[in-house]
Amino acid sequence: MSAMLPDTLSGRDLLRHCLATIAYRASKVVRDVPNDFANFQPGRDARTPVQILAHLGDLLEWGLSMAKGQPNWHNSQPLAWPEESRRFFDCLQRFDDYLASDEPLHASPEKLFQGPAADVLNHVGQIAMLRRLAGIPIKGENYYKADITTGNVGPNQPNPKLEF
């Protein structure tokens, strides 16, 4: 029997769960890719996977800067895939750590979700689609059954419960 959940969560707690969901989904799309995937070019003027991954880190840094009340946007030059992947999860961890703290939020959880968090989810899906186009698809999964835990925002995620 699963534990009963409260009828409501704080916006901050729901945003933290969103970050854990991002980590779970992103961990699937960034691992086990061949070296040439980072620069896969799906079409003229389209971002490569590593450019999208760098953008994900930038979005998370932007979200954290807004949460701290010091909005700042930066366009990073992509690193190599392993380093960019580490940067992404480091940015996710810093954002989650801030949300887990008692520090005040200078942007509403709703705005942080509709801006950077939702954009990150969208781009994680783009990388998944690029994997399929490159011939290295990830397995589909019933994400409702996934073991996603608030605060677990690193690259090491639980094994899938129900892939197809």
- Cβ atoms of 103 and 72 within 8 Å: the answer is no
162, part of any domain: no
Name the domain count of the chain. Answer: 1
For the entire predicted model, the pTM comes to 0.93
Burial of 107 by CB count in 10 Å (0-12 exposed, 13-18 middle, 19+ buried)?
middle
Closest CA to 130 of 28, 35, 37, 31: 37
| Model confidence pLDDT, tens digit, residues 42-99 | 989 999 999 999 999 999 999 999 999 999 999 999 999 999 999 999 999 999 999 9
Q: Residue 1 pLDDT > 70, yes or no?
A: no
Q: Where in the sequence is the domain holding 113, given as residue range(s)?
A: 48-154
99, part of any domain: yes
Dist CA 106 CA 104 (whole Å):
6
Roughly what angle, to the nearest 10 degrees, separates helices 49-67 and 118-133? 170
| Model confidence pLDDT, tens digit, residues 6-24 | 678 899 999 999 999 999 9
Q: Residue 139 pLDDT > 90, yes or no?
A: yes
Q: Residue 141 pLDDT > 70, yes or no?
A: yes
98, part of any domain: yes
Residue 37 DSSP symbol? G
